[in-house]
Structure 1
């Protein structure tokens, strides 16, 4: 029998929570805290999990380490909202309290069926004391676990669906992050995987009842593309099936794949009856974000039929840092984004509810090297170009976004805490939509064809534009999200 870490029960959390009131008060006063992004009160946040809308309420669960900003302990935290403006922090809902998940309630998803929400997640076990410990092939148990809820707050008993022994024999012990898609009366689960040859791929399982699952198929790129594909999400969007996943171990190619790990979207044609598929070549893998801090996104369809994406504004194993770690907290979630397809590309645009945060508007035009300046630190800015040969925008003091010869480059200067520059090549610069929070930027290019997401640590606000360009600019002040406590 392997030696486990201690399990964490709800009672343990509540005791520790009461002991950390001073930490919460200190973190709440931190000027680096974001205003219109969801963050942990203290500690660490990473992957969004279990995203869904149920009976009018949006449920946003997330990977959560409550008391340490370095991510060791993994629970599921929980926010709810009806309008993406006012939120309730519901506190943790899933704890590593069983033999199935004693070393972490890892990432997973939600699937709404009738009057029930079905949750599937990876329960993590680590075999550190085994003589044959091997991080890749024998170092952990990855259990697929199922729980249900009738309201999104109270959960059923945990049900173990699959263990490492139930996955194909040529897999390493890295299989995780279940997500469900329904086709007709059948259900399919995709999981990210790494085989014993260290090639990343997607495993697919089949079920008729959401409880009994059998191995069905695998999705493998034509050529190896990274050693592990995390956080898979298979969904239909505007008549096209898409696979979003996070390949690890992809080497940089010029300005592409510059981050330590990637997030990509792939167009796929999948024939469920015949277990056959066609995917784009590796040169067609679309990078979902060009910034420094974007990973593990998850999508869901809401009750209005919108496909909404929320990502982790962070990334694992990065060489750059977040100064907030020294202040007792780290990371945030992105602005929710509505997805569409356009000319074979996945397009991301901020959901319209974000416009409710606007509390003032300034409209101006710019041309012939004219410039508009503002010292706002917290803003939304829209640029519409009638022409643009080259341009330099200052987004915060010391932080620029420049366009020249078809290359758009974000340069964080001395404000990146180790982050430097990221670029993307575009045919023309038509428009920009920029969201500047206290310590973050989200930049939507040409209607969301490209996006840059990054943390940034400039202490002074500044917004200006200069260059051989003409057009109009709108600037909006933004008010903070309203976040309350559960009653």
Structure 2
């Protein structure tokens, strides 16, 4: 079978689509977004030889989930980014239906990508290969081909390798679905990234005290913070609850201890990572100074994504801001990285009744807010946050039904840290104890109006744009 080369079509799509996307009033000023087409999962997030690299799932040919390539950005400081050559395209038999998500590692000075080659057959079945590619002298990547076939006992839904080095071995976690349509996470070990030994299932539905926890666990990421081993996953099919797991597919984590010798992972309950409307497929890495950083896709599969108005301008989706992780008593905290303070312009302060607060320009805004509540934050009559005594309620009109939809963060709210960027809002609660990340599409110039009979203190900045070169 001869595969049609994609590169000529990609070049034409970028030349035609880039200016149209960046002239859209909803195109972000400082978040990472595609120059054209569809962006989804962050991939291969790594600090390597003095630069940060962030790869991403990208369909440059349209706003549909198809033609999945790996785009590539790099940065010296997590603030100023530049485009690098396309890393992967689905141009081989083993990845012809898409170069799906994965990671990057430093293998003895060689930047090496580990990714899933997806193959769909005409009869509706599929298979998956875990593959490698190595950076060449020109900044592109040479494929080494598959190193792990589809394991026995699982459907064709096995994907998203995350690899790390521990003591003398490489380890990998893989998202999987078993033949009973239950989501699992597999653990594997290798000496050389080429030959892999399966060690078994370490988490998923029916494992570690969990009951039915979804039909597929995607995008696993296992890392250590202090003395806790955290496993981030995207468990598809988790039952919706009154105030959590309300998105079509959520992101979650468990905390515990991984026994490398016995390949056993003892962990606690499943905790939702982000209570907003759009957050999925997060991936972490270590910074140059040892911080655990995270970036996520500000989107959700199979939700209302295709109703977003940016599709008319030929692009869809963006990344979250990069975040720093910490842990307190086994609970993950997320905060915006300190590097983002470099985007701040003049600092302003305000204190008084919420009803008397000035209306803020919200196209590109950072706001720190302290209040005893209750107050309301109205983002351009498009997204409304209600700060109540028992937590937060975020409201947004469905672009399909026209009805209000709600997301919740229950708990005692003491302070908020909010980042706005033209068509996105990220709300950090109590120093990172909770987060609510959402897209919204206001008529610009967007404003933020505060209301309520409660005193509040506000500190805020406008944020300058930081475009990708």
**The two structures share one fold, judged by TM-score above 0.5:** yes
Is the CA contact (8 Å cut-off) linking 1:366 and 1:470 kept in structure 2? yes
Equivalent position to 1:439, from 407, 423, 435: 423
Equivalent position to 2:343, from 345, 357, 365: 357
Equivalent position to 2:440, from 453, 456, 459: 456
Equivalent position to 2:149, from 147, 163, 176: 163
- Assess, with a 3 A threshold, how the Cα gap between structure 1 residues 248 and 15 changes in structure 2: closer, same or farther: closer
RMSD over aligned Cα, in angstroms? 2.0
Does residue 142 of structure 1 match 2:128?
yes
Counterpart of 2:86 in structure 1 is 92
Report the CA distance between 1:151 and its aligned residue: 7.0
Equivalent position to 2:272, from 287, 290, 303: 287
Q: Distance in 2 between matches of 1:351 and 1:182?
A: 25
Does residue 198 of structure 1 match 2:181?
yes
Is the CA contact (8 Å cut-off) linking 2:9 and 2:61 kept in structure 1? no
Is the CA contact (8 Å cut-off) linking 1:8 and 1:96 kept in structure 2? no
Higher alpha-carbon deviation: 146-155 or 433-442: 146-155
Counterpart of 1:136 in structure 2 is none
Equivalent position to 1:272, from 239, 243, 260: 260
Report the CA distance between 1:153 and its aligned residue: 2.2
- Assess, with a 3 A threshold, how the Cα gap between structure 1 residues 170 and 408 changes in structure 2: closer, same or farther: same
- Assess, with a 3 A threshold, how the Cα gap between structure 1 residues 35 and 8 changes in structure 2: closer, same or farther: farther
Q: Distance in 1 between matches of 2:142 and 2:364?
A: 42
Does residue 308 of structure 1 match 2:293?
yes
Report the CA distance between 1:13 and its aligned residue: 1.2
Higher alpha-carbon deviation: 462-471 or 314-323: 462-471
Is the CA contact (8 Å cut-off) linking 1:398 and 1:414 kept in structure 2? no
Alignment of 1:58-457 (within 5 A): 58-128=52-122, 130=123, 133=124, 139-149=125-135, 153-164=139-150, 167=151, 169-220=152-203, 221=207, 222=209, 223-280=211-268, 284-319=269-304, 321-367=307-353, 370-385=356-371, 388-413=372-397, 420-426=405-411, 428-457=412-441
- CA-to-aligned-CA distance 1:182-235 (integer Å, 9 cap, x gap): 221022110001111111110111112221101112123331200000000010
What's the secondary structure of 1:356's corresponding residue?
Answer: helix
Report the CA distance between 1:15 and its aligned residue: 5.0
Report the CA distance between 1:19 and its aligned residue: 6.1
Q: Distance in 2 between matches of 1:463 and 1:123?
A: 44
Is the CA contact (8 Å cut-off) linking 2:29 and 2:467 kept in structure 1? no
Is the CA contact (8 Å cut-off) linking 1:190 and 1:203 kept in structure 2? yes
- Assess, with a 3 A threshold, how the Cα gap between structure 1 residues 368 and 235 changes in structure 2: closer, same or farther: closer
Counterpart of 1:480 in structure 2 is 465
Is the CA contact (8 Å cut-off) linking 1:416 and 1:456 kept in structure 2? no
Is the CA contact (8 Å cut-off) linking 1:365 and 1:473 kept in structure 2? yes
Gaps of 5+ in 2: none
Q: Distance in 1 between matches of 2:265 and 2:410?
A: 30
Report the CA distance between 1:449 and its aligned residue: 0.9
Q: Distance in 1 between matches of 2:453 and 2:146?
A: 61
Q: Distance in 1 between matches of 2:248 and 2:374?
A: 30
Counterpart of 1:49 in structure 2 is 43
Q: Distance in 2 between matches of 1:409 and 1:152?
A: 49
Q: Distance in 2 between matches of 1:35 and 1:368?
A: 28
Is the CA contact (8 Å cut-off) linking 2:362 and 2:379 kept in structure 1? no
Is the CA contact (8 Å cut-off) linking 1:190 and 1:233 kept in structure 2? yes
- CA-to-aligned-CA distance 1:127-185 (integer Å, 9 cap, x gap): 12x4xx4xxxxx11100001223679232332310111xx1x22111100001132210
- CA-to-aligned-CA distance 1:278-308 (integer Å, 9 cap, x gap): 121xxx3111111111100100112210111
Q: Distance in 2 between matches of 1:32 and 1:313?
A: 14
Report the CA distance between 1:16 and its aligned residue: 4.2
- CA-to-aligned-CA distance 1:72-103 (integer Å, 9 cap, x gap): 11100011111222211124221112121111
Is the CA contact (8 Å cut-off) linking 1:146 and 1:160 kept in structure 2? yes
Report the CA distance between 1:442 and its aligned residue: 0.7
Report the CA distance between 1:468 and its aligned residue: 4.4
Q: Distance in 2 between matches of 1:34 and 1:415?
A: 20
What's the secondary structure of 1:332's corresponding residue?
Answer: coil
Normalised by the length of structure 2, the TM-score is 0.93
Gaps of 5+ in 1: 134-138
Normalised by the length of structure 1, the TM-score is 0.90
Q: Distance in 2 between matches of 1:237 and 1:152?
A: 36
Q: Distance in 1 between matches of 2:318 and 2:400?
A: 16
